Copies of this chain bind each other. A is one copy, B any other.
Amino acid sequence: MNHSPSPIDSPDAISRRDAITRSLGALAGISAIASISGSTAHALAQPATPAPAEPKKADVEMTPEQHQAILRPGKERIAIVLYPQFTALDALGPHHVFINMVGAKVLLVAKTMAPVPSDTGFSITPNATFDQITEKQTLVLVPGGTTGTLEAMKDAPTMSFLRRQGAEAQWIGSVCTGSLVLAAAGLLKGYKATSHWLTREALKAGGAEPVAQRYVEDRNRVTGAGVTAGIDFALHLVQKWRGATYAKGVQMFMEYDPQPPFNSGSPTSPDAEPAMVGMLSAMHESFGPKCETAIRAALATTPTK
């Protein structure tokens, strides 16, 4: 669930204000909650009869001013780029994190307002077109994909938008193979960066230095490894922009308390089966070289910074 409603532009200027007002309004009543137990759900569900047997973890009373200081609306402007056959979870993991920043404007942007097909069989409607992004952006983020990602590197409006943002935006980011699109736009030359483990080395074709990390921050570039890495670095960015308390609150609200049944999330994880590493590598053997070719072609035919 999510407490920050629709980020869409003009009607939303109202709904965002409403959300903030509601949030701050709710806080006016907080001093009535004199003590907060470790798990408050019970007390909330039965407000008239707080569970007497439940041990209280801490007595916490904050003033409305303290809450308002934490919830002070920010002005981050975040554009997440969609292109045909993008990987939805790359885009929507960070989107879910950022949308919880009160006052931030988080938009899914694309070439046109037509629904954009993801690489898993459904389409998402963007919030704005590239041309409508005229404000200075706090972050422009590119998700990954496979064949669609190669096509994005050849798409003039997409590459033009990214090159412009590379010169203007405060931060440039990517998830998964999205870093290869940034490399193709000339935005990672001389930067340390990462990508999906299957395509990391292809970053070299764009003059980047591949690093085997969950996410890599080098000056104003932040690149994540495959898919779910975007959630981790989005929380890292919320910490930078809103402080640790806020970022921890977002993590708690989205219950990002990962408990995967295995520890097999990367080829070097303890539970990773070498045979599976080999099989996935074989299945995608030709993709890395294709990415390198596409990056070189994009850099050869378009101006780089």
Chain A residues near B (Cβ < 8 Å): 1-8, 12, 23, 26-27, 29-30, 33, 36, 38-47, 57-58, 60, 62, 66-67, 70-71, 87-89, 92-93, 95-96, 99, 106, 108, 115, 117, 119-127, 144-146, 149, 176-177, 196-202, 204, 210, 212, 214, 225-229, 231-232, 235-236, 239, 244-245, 247-249, 251-262, 264-269, 271-285, 287-289, 292
Contacts and interface: CB of A to CB of B under 8 A. Distances in A.
Contacts of A198: 1, 40-41, 44
Nearest to A228: B256
Contacts of A44: 198, 201, 281, 284-285, 287-289
A195 to B, nearest CB: 8
Given A92-B92, A226-B254, A274-B60, A124 B127 contact: no
Contacts of A264: 247-249, 251-252
A261 B223 CA distance: 15
29 contacts: A1-B87, A3-B284, A6-B121, A7-B120, A26-B285, A36-B275, A38-B268, A39-B197, A40-B281, A41-B200, A41-B288, A42-B201, A44-B288, A60-B275, A62-B278, A88-B95, A89-B96, A95-B120, A115-B123, A176-B255, A227-B256, A228-B254, A228-B257, A232-B259, A239-B261, A248-B276, A251-B265, A252-B264, A256-B258
Contact of A257 (B124, B245, B265, B285): B265
A89 B124 CA distance: 13
A277 B38 contact: yes
A119 B126 CA distance: 14
A36 to B, nearest CB: 4
B96 A122 contact: no
Contacts of A3: 146, 283-284
Copies in the complex: 2
Nearest to A268: B38
Closest 3 CB pairs of A and B: A257-B265, A226-B255, A45-B201
A38 to B, nearest CB: 5
Contacts of A214: 257, 259
A201 B41 contact: yes
